Structure 1
Amino acid sequence: MTDYIHAETKGTPGAPLVFTFHGTGGDETQFHSLAEQLWPGAHVVSPRGDVSEHGMARYFRRTGEGVYDMDDLSERRTAMAEFIRSKINVTGANRVIALGYSNGANIAAAVAFEDPSLFTDVIAMHPLIPWTPEPNPGLSTTRWLITAGERDPICPAPLTQSLLSYLRAQNADVAEHWHTGGHELVQSELQAIQDFQT
């Protein structure tokens, strides 16, 4: 099993288990404290991506902006799923939440598409899924929040809409939040997360 460099906060018994996934160039600290604030008492695990792109940490390789190395993504998705499963087994958590931004949202979504049983909730901020995932009826048991910018040059709105349509076709419980800007995170997204998780 891949043993990622990661930050970990041990929570109280019965508390949710929250995984945070950083964006390109981030690290395990990017959203760790945010998760601690959003879910007081939760177990929080924040793995650092183990791919280096010009010195910036990522979760899988790409050959260009929005062009993924799908073979590498498949391998690293499997490795991440094993890491996630091991932490679920240790904590025994019933509620397992993924919180990811950009590249982090993409790896979380890729894991969920393959094995929907791992996460009960997926919060994907500015995801970019440039492929059509296979149908998976198991997604009907998952809750999703997708946040996005209407003018995001990295994650174009039509691809975000395609992801929303895919999830709804799988009967997932889907909420969405849009802001008028681009790829940046804004305060209204934090409010949307707070509203979603209560």
Structure 2
Amino acid sequence: MRMKHLFRKGADADASVLLLLHGTGGNEEDLLPLAEMVDPSASVLSVRGNVLENGMPRFFHRLSEGVFDEEDLVFRTWELKEFLEEAAQEYGFSPRRLIAVGYSNGANIAASLLLHYGKILQGAVLHHPMVPRRGIELPDLSGLPVFIGAGRNDPICVPAETEELEKLFQKAGAEVEVHWGSTGHQLTRSEIGVAAAWYKNTYQEPEGSL
């Protein structure tokens, strides 16, 4: 299942692979600076959504702002899963080394991947995600690390939405950390910095460790 993307091999062959998933209107170039801040040694697989909304790339259709086309979401989540399996073979990495880093619409499709397919990823950094689907059977996400960046004044992803998603992930067994900022829906440098610190603490050995 081909999707427009770019792949950059990291300095360490055993390093994680950051799966970059842009927000509405973005592309596969948008989050590259973020990847450098989170883990400059990691490989990067950055994907462009296959859906267009008024010319703006997205990962799935929506009926209106905040109202998802669930049928399309399910299909596009499967489409992305198939692409990741193909990309892993093409570029020679284990799919289990993938850590999603998504913003807004990209964070939503990453959350959908986890809720539909379980531990298909090694973890996720989700900036301003919404609950992708409700009323589905939750997978086993025991011990899976998930970071959620949220804004107290976010008009699109309101705090109640973040809290509901946090509880869903916790119910599935994931280890969730939520960072609350005072901003709206925008992705700030300070939020990225907190996410990078969480990532380092979660996935990288402290200096001097054996």
What is the TM-score when the length of structure 2 is the normalising length?
A: 0.88
The residue that corresponds to 1:84 in the other structure is 84
Which range moves more in the overlay, 99-108 or 123-132?
123-132
CA RMSD across the alignment: 1.5
CA distance in 1, matches of 2:8, 2:112: 24
* Contact residue 16 and residue 93 of structure 1 kept, 8 A: no
Question: Deviation of residue 176 (structure 1)?
Answer: 0.6
Residues 6-45 of structure 1 correspond to what in structure 2 (within 5 A)?
A: 6-11=5-10, 12-45=12-45
Q: Are the structure 2 counterparts of residues 130 and 92 from structure 1 closer, same or farther at C-alpha, using a change threshold of 3 Å? A: closer
3-state secondary structure, aligned to 2:141: helix
TM superposition outliers: structure 1 runs of 4+ over 3 Å? none
Tell me the residue number matched to 2:157. Answer: 155
The structural deviation recorded for 1:94 is 4.7
Counterparts in 2 of 1:178-189, with a 5 A limit? Answer: 178-189=180-191
Paired with 1:18 and 1:120, the residues of 2 have a C-alpha distance of 10
Mapped to 2, the partners of 1:93 and 1:40 lie a distance apart of 19
- Is the CA contact 1:108–1:122 (under 8 Å) kept in the aligned structure 2? yes
Give the match for residue 69 of structure 2. 69
Contact kept, 8 Å, 2:140 with 2:173, in 1: the verdict is no
Matches within 5 A, 1:45-60: 45-60=45-60
Percent identity (aligned) = 37
**Contact conserved, 2:38 with 2:192, CA < 8 A, in 1?**
no
Q: Which runs of 5+ in 1 are unaligned?
A: none
Q: Would the alpha carbon gap of residues 188 and 131 (structure 1) be closer, same or farther in structure 2, given more than 3 Å must change?
A: same
CA contact (8 A) 2:112 2:132 kept: no
What residue number does 1:103 align with?
Answer: 105
Provide, for residues 75-122 of structure 1, a one-character-per-residue CA deviation record: whole Å limited to 9, x for no partner.
Answer: 110010111122334213653210000000000110111112221111
Normalising by structure 1, we get a TM-score of: 0.93
